[in-house]
Amino acid sequence: MVQKTPSANHRWCHRWGLWFAAHAKQPQKEQSLKDMTCESQIMSQTLLAIRRSRADSFEGRDLNYREFEKEEDQLCQLDVGNLRIRQHVNPLRHALMIPAEAPNWKEVFEDATLPLMVDIGSVTFVNELLRVSLHRKEIAGSGRFLMWLAKRTSSSMNYLGLEIRPKLVTRAEYWVNELGLKNVHFISTNAMVSFQQLVSTYPGPLMLVSILCPDPHFKKKHHKRRVVQKPLVDSIVNNLAHGGQVFIQSDVLDVALDMRNYFDAVHDKLVHIDSVDPSLPCDGEGWVLNNPMGIRTEREIHAEFEGCKIYRRVYKKVQH
């Protein structure tokens, strides 16, 4: 019997070890695949439930969400339906620090002298939790919050949505054209650097600014990426007409508190709504209990579906 040399024995053990490792892990891979399939099915069912809830809401009935969603499924292949977009964009990237040029407002709106509402992050994501379904679709907002308002007040107010993700703006503009709305417009830009340049050139008065469920940027080192910073707050306050309002909300308490602290700090120009309008009741911590707009964002609809609390503040500009 020929005795194996150490080198040959070593090679044999190595090959056997690789074979054993590959086959031994196979059941774990199969189990993992089953778990992933099960998870995808659960997520898909949850997604379906949310879409039904959204479509059956009064907001959904008014804008005919079901027809939107049928067309969205068809538009996926055209890159304007359901989109897979980065969840959190770094607004401090050099490419995003260039202010957007103000459009010709007379071309954008049918009547550019009407009061203006600006929604910052108006096409933002609905929820990070539901990133995966059977077809790997991401759920994203679509700017329907502004579209609903524009449809209801087509002759009395204009609406401008500022969103940092270009693809979401492309889709929102598609729906605006489909609905034939002449008083709502979306611009792909970083509101942190473009708000002043855009709003200061608008011919009419700025009456309302909303910042609803902005990107949370949870890590402390990334808090500087949050859209609500002192320069933006100062710009909002300086451009807001007397009697104009600021509406902020988030389902993340830390983010809501951060925004609240910035706007509370300009108490010489802004007062919270509960001190001038008792029709908007607050809880014991100063959060507005009900949405004052008469319309919920898609993120808000989903958060309430999940049983989450929404933290809201409404400020009004007054003369002291």
Q: Which of 215, 251, 254, 258 is catalytic?
A: 215
Instruction: Please list, in sequence order, all residues whose beta carbon lies within 8 angstroms of the beta carbon of residue 166, skipping any fewer than 6 positions away.
Output: 188
Using DSSP bridges, classify how beta strands 270-272 and 311-317 pair: parallel, antiparallel or unpaired: antiparallel
Q: Which amino acid is at 298?
A: E
Contact, 233 vs 268, CB < 8 A? Answer: no
Structure tokens that stand for 17 in this block: 């070890």
Q: Which amino acid is at 304?
A: E
Rounded Cα distance, 145 and 65, in Å: 12
274 is catalytic: no
* Torsion-angle region of 180 (φ positive above 0: left; ψ -120 to 50: alpha; else: beta): left
Contact, 302 vs 126, CB < 8 A? Answer: yes
Nearest by Cα to 142 from 165, 158, 159: 165
Q: Is the dihedral of CA 290, 295, 300, 305 positive or negative?
A: positive
Contact, 121 vs 227, CB < 8 A? Answer: yes
List the catalytic residues: 215
